[in-house]
A and B are shown apart, each in its own frame.
Chain A
Amino acid sequence: DQQVKQNSPSLSVQEGRISILNCDYTNSMFDYFLWYKKYPAEGPTFLISISSIKDKNEDGRFTVFLNKSAKHLSLHIVPSQPGDSAVYFCAASGLSGYALNFGKGTSLLVTP
Protein backbone atom coordinates (compact mmCIF):
# COMPACT_ATOMS: atom_id res chain seq x y z
CA ASP A 1 0.00 0.00 0.00
CA GLN A 2 1.55 3.26 -1.17
CA GLN A 3 2.08 5.53 1.82
CA VAL A 4 3.55 8.38 -0.22
CA LYS A 5 1.45 9.36 -3.20
CA GLN A 6 2.16 11.51 -6.20
CA ASN A 7 -1.10 11.55 -8.10
CA SER A 8 0.10 13.46 -11.15
CA PRO A 9 2.29 11.25 -13.35
CA SER A 10 3.28 14.19 -15.53
CA LEU A 11 3.30 17.97 -15.68
CA SER A 12 4.15 20.35 -18.51
CA VAL A 13 5.10 23.97 -17.81
CA GLN A 14 6.43 26.81 -19.92
CA GLU A 15 9.90 28.15 -19.25
CA GLY A 16 9.84 31.00 -16.75
CA ARG A 17 6.55 29.96 -15.18
CA ILE A 18 6.02 28.25 -11.83
CA SER A 19 6.05 24.46 -11.54
CA ILE A 20 4.08 23.00 -8.64
CA LEU A 21 4.52 19.33 -7.84
CA ASN A 22 2.29 17.75 -5.22
CA CYS A 23 2.67 14.88 -2.80
CA ASP A 24 0.38 13.33 -0.19
CA TYR A 25 1.24 10.91 2.58
CA THR A 26 -0.93 8.68 4.70
CA ASN A 27 1.13 7.92 7.81
CA SER A 28 1.48 10.62 10.46
CA MET A 29 4.64 8.90 11.77
CA PHE A 30 6.61 10.37 8.86
CA ASP A 31 8.60 13.30 10.19
CA TYR A 32 11.09 14.16 7.47
CA PHE A 33 10.30 14.81 3.83
CA LEU A 34 12.49 15.14 0.78
CA TRP A 35 12.36 15.75 -2.93
CA TYR A 36 14.70 14.00 -5.33
CA LYS A 37 15.25 14.72 -8.99
CA LYS A 38 16.08 12.00 -11.48
CA TYR A 39 17.36 12.13 -15.02
CA PRO A 40 17.17 9.05 -17.29
CA ALA A 41 19.90 6.45 -16.71
CA GLU A 42 21.11 8.24 -13.57
CA GLY A 43 20.51 7.80 -9.87
CA PRO A 44 18.19 10.18 -8.00
CA THR A 45 19.84 13.34 -6.69
CA PHE A 46 18.75 15.17 -3.56
CA LEU A 47 16.98 18.46 -4.16
CA ILE A 48 15.46 19.81 -0.96
CA SER A 49 14.06 18.58 2.35
CA ILE A 50 11.83 19.71 5.19
CA SER A 51 11.39 18.58 8.77
CA SER A 52 7.91 18.13 10.21
CA ILE A 53 8.56 20.98 12.65
CA LYS A 54 8.64 23.44 9.75
CA ASP A 55 6.08 24.41 7.13
CA LYS A 56 8.40 25.90 4.53
CA ASN A 57 11.94 25.51 3.32
CA GLU A 58 13.54 27.48 0.53
CA ASP A 59 16.68 26.92 -1.51
CA GLY A 60 17.16 29.21 -4.47
CA ARG A 61 14.45 28.54 -7.04
CA PHE A 62 13.08 25.61 -5.04
CA THR A 63 10.63 25.85 -2.16
CA VAL A 64 8.96 23.00 -0.33
CA PHE A 65 5.76 23.57 1.65
CA LEU A 66 4.44 21.17 4.26
CA ASN A 67 0.85 21.04 5.50
CA LYS A 68 0.85 18.46 8.27
CA SER A 69 -2.86 18.65 8.99
CA ALA A 70 -3.60 17.78 5.36
CA LYS A 71 -0.65 15.38 5.12
CA HIS A 72 0.40 17.22 1.99
CA LEU A 73 3.59 18.71 0.67
CA SER A 74 4.40 20.54 -2.50
CA LEU A 75 7.50 21.58 -4.41
CA HIS A 76 7.51 24.95 -6.14
CA ILE A 77 10.07 25.75 -8.81
CA VAL A 78 10.26 29.41 -9.79
CA PRO A 79 11.18 30.23 -12.48
CA SER A 80 11.14 26.90 -14.28
CA GLN A 81 13.97 26.19 -16.70
CA PRO A 82 14.30 23.55 -19.45
CA GLY A 83 17.08 21.88 -17.42
CA ASP A 84 14.49 21.19 -14.71
CA SER A 85 12.86 18.62 -16.99
CA ALA A 86 13.20 15.36 -15.06
CA VAL A 87 11.26 12.96 -12.88
CA TYR A 88 10.70 14.29 -9.37
CA PHE A 89 10.24 11.90 -6.48
CA CYS A 90 8.70 12.81 -3.17
CA ALA A 91 10.05 10.78 -0.24
CA ALA A 92 9.43 10.52 3.49
CA SER A 93 11.21 8.93 6.41
CA GLY A 94 10.38 8.09 9.99
CA LEU A 95 8.88 4.61 9.69
CA SER A 96 11.76 2.29 8.80
CA GLY A 97 14.41 4.27 10.59
CA TYR A 98 16.34 6.38 8.11
CA ALA A 99 15.13 4.54 4.99
CA LEU A 100 13.00 6.46 2.52
CA ASN A 101 9.45 5.77 1.35
CA PHE A 102 9.08 7.09 -2.18
CA GLY A 103 6.16 8.19 -4.28
CA LYS A 104 5.82 7.00 -7.87
CA GLY A 105 7.26 10.19 -9.29
CA THR A 106 6.06 13.07 -11.44
CA SER A 107 7.65 13.68 -14.83
CA LEU A 108 8.14 17.42 -15.34
CA LEU A 109 8.62 18.85 -18.82
CA VAL A 110 9.62 22.49 -19.09
CA THR A 111 9.13 23.78 -22.61
CA PRO A 112 10.96 26.79 -24.08
Chain B
Amino acid sequence: DAEITQSPRHKITETGRQVTLACHQTWNHNNMFWYRQDLGHGLRLIHYSYGVQDTNKGEVSDGYSVSRSNTEDLPLTLESAASSQTSVYFCASSENGQTDTQYFGPGTRLTVL
Protein backbone atom coordinates (compact mmCIF):
# COMPACT_ATOMS: atom_id res chain seq x y z
CA ASP B 1 0.00 0.00 0.00
CA ALA B 2 1.17 3.52 -0.77
CA GLU B 3 1.94 5.56 2.29
CA ILE B 4 3.73 8.52 3.83
CA THR B 5 6.35 7.92 6.49
CA GLN B 6 8.37 10.12 8.79
CA SER B 7 11.59 9.38 10.60
CA PRO B 8 12.64 9.47 13.30
CA ARG B 9 9.36 9.36 15.27
CA HIS B 10 11.05 10.85 18.31
CA LYS B 11 14.24 12.85 18.62
CA ILE B 12 16.01 14.72 21.38
CA THR B 13 18.76 17.12 20.41
CA GLU B 14 20.74 19.99 21.87
CA THR B 15 20.52 23.69 21.12
CA GLY B 16 22.68 24.67 18.17
CA ARG B 17 22.82 21.27 16.49
CA GLN B 18 21.67 20.69 12.92
CA VAL B 19 18.76 18.27 12.68
CA THR B 20 17.11 16.72 9.64
CA LEU B 21 13.67 15.17 9.72
CA ALA B 22 12.81 12.80 6.91
CA CYS B 23 9.54 12.53 5.00
CA HIS B 24 8.95 9.88 2.33
CA GLN B 25 5.80 9.21 0.31
CA THR B 26 5.15 6.42 -2.16
CA TRP B 27 2.07 7.87 -3.89
CA ASN B 28 4.14 9.82 -6.43
CA HIS B 29 2.40 12.98 -5.24
CA ASN B 30 3.62 16.30 -6.63
CA ASN B 31 2.80 18.38 -3.54
CA MET B 32 4.48 18.00 -0.18
CA PHE B 33 4.13 20.08 2.98
CA TRP B 34 5.68 20.45 6.41
CA TYR B 35 3.62 21.65 9.39
CA ARG B 36 4.36 21.98 13.08
CA GLN B 37 1.82 21.49 15.84
CA ASP B 38 2.10 23.37 19.11
CA LEU B 39 -0.30 23.67 22.00
CA GLY B 40 -2.52 26.67 21.47
CA HIS B 41 -1.59 27.08 17.81
CA GLY B 42 -2.97 24.16 15.87
CA LEU B 43 -0.88 23.24 12.82
CA ARG B 44 1.22 25.89 11.14
CA LEU B 45 2.84 25.70 7.71
CA ILE B 46 6.65 25.68 7.59
CA HIS B 47 7.57 24.95 3.96
CA TYR B 48 5.96 23.37 0.94
CA SER B 49 6.86 22.07 -2.50
CA TYR B 50 4.84 21.58 -5.68
CA GLY B 51 7.42 19.44 -7.44
CA VAL B 52 11.07 18.55 -7.84
CA GLN B 53 13.35 21.56 -7.33
CA ASP B 54 10.40 23.68 -6.16
CA THR B 55 10.28 24.94 -2.55
CA ASN B 56 8.29 27.72 -0.89
CA LYS B 57 8.27 29.34 2.53
CA GLY B 58 5.29 29.06 4.79
CA GLU B 59 4.06 31.01 7.79
CA VAL B 60 6.82 29.90 10.20
CA SER B 61 9.82 29.17 7.95
CA ASP B 62 12.57 30.99 9.91
CA GLY B 63 15.25 28.55 11.05
CA TYR B 64 14.08 25.78 8.70
CA SER B 65 15.01 24.72 5.18
CA VAL B 66 13.85 22.06 2.72
CA SER B 67 15.06 20.67 -0.58
CA ARG B 68 13.21 18.55 -3.13
CA SER B 69 15.60 16.48 -5.22
CA ASN B 70 13.07 13.76 -6.11
CA THR B 71 9.29 13.27 -6.01
CA GLU B 72 9.22 10.97 -2.98
CA ASP B 73 11.17 12.94 -0.36
CA LEU B 74 11.04 16.33 1.33
CA PRO B 75 13.52 16.45 4.22
CA LEU B 76 13.19 19.28 6.73
CA THR B 77 16.42 20.71 8.16
CA LEU B 78 16.77 22.78 11.29
CA GLU B 79 20.01 24.63 10.67
CA SER B 80 20.74 25.41 14.32
CA ALA B 81 18.12 23.94 16.62
CA ALA B 82 16.53 26.25 19.20
CA SER B 83 14.31 25.41 22.18
CA SER B 84 11.46 27.25 20.43
CA GLN B 85 11.56 24.53 17.76
CA THR B 86 10.51 21.87 20.24
CA SER B 87 7.30 20.68 18.61
CA VAL B 88 5.55 17.88 16.77
CA TYR B 89 6.28 17.98 13.05
CA PHE B 90 3.92 16.62 10.41
CA CYS B 91 4.65 16.01 6.77
CA ALA B 92 1.81 15.81 4.24
CA SER B 93 1.42 15.15 0.54
CA SER B 94 -1.26 15.60 -2.09
CA GLU B 95 -1.52 14.67 -5.71
CA ASN B 96 -1.82 17.87 -7.73
CA GLY B 97 -4.58 20.40 -7.25
CA GLN B 98 -6.14 22.34 -4.43
CA THR B 99 -8.98 19.88 -3.89
CA ASP B 100 -6.77 16.80 -3.78
CA THR B 101 -6.70 15.43 -0.25
CA GLN B 102 -3.60 16.08 1.84
CA TYR B 103 -2.47 12.89 3.54
CA PHE B 104 -0.44 13.29 6.71
CA GLY B 105 2.40 11.25 8.10
CA PRO B 106 2.42 10.02 11.72
CA GLY B 107 4.55 12.91 12.96
CA THR B 108 7.97 13.43 14.55
CA ARG B 109 8.19 14.65 18.12
CA LEU B 110 11.31 16.82 18.44
CA THR B 111 12.69 18.04 21.73
CA VAL B 112 15.47 20.63 21.76
CA LEU B 113 17.27 20.88 25.10
Give chain A residues whose Cβ lies under 8 Å from the Cβ of B59: 96
Does the CB pair A102–B42 fall under 8 Å?
yes
Q: How many residues of A contact B (CB 8 A)?
A: 28
Interface residues on B, range: 20 to 34
If the complex has contacts A89-B42, A98-B94, A99-B58, are A42 and B107 also in contact, measured as CB distance less than 8 A?
yes
Q: Is the interface of A mostly helix, strand, loop or mixed?
A: loop
Shortest Cβ gap from A48 to chain B (Å)? 10
Give chain B residues whose Cβ lies under 8 Å from the Cβ of A4: 42
If the complex has contacts A97-B50, A103-B42, are A46 and B101 also in contact, measured as CB distance less than 8 A?
yes
Does the CB pair A100–B42 fall under 8 Å?
no
Residue ranges of B at the interface with A (Cβ–Cβ < 8 Å): 31, 33, 35, 40-45, 48, 50, 56, 58-59, 90, 92, 94, 97-107
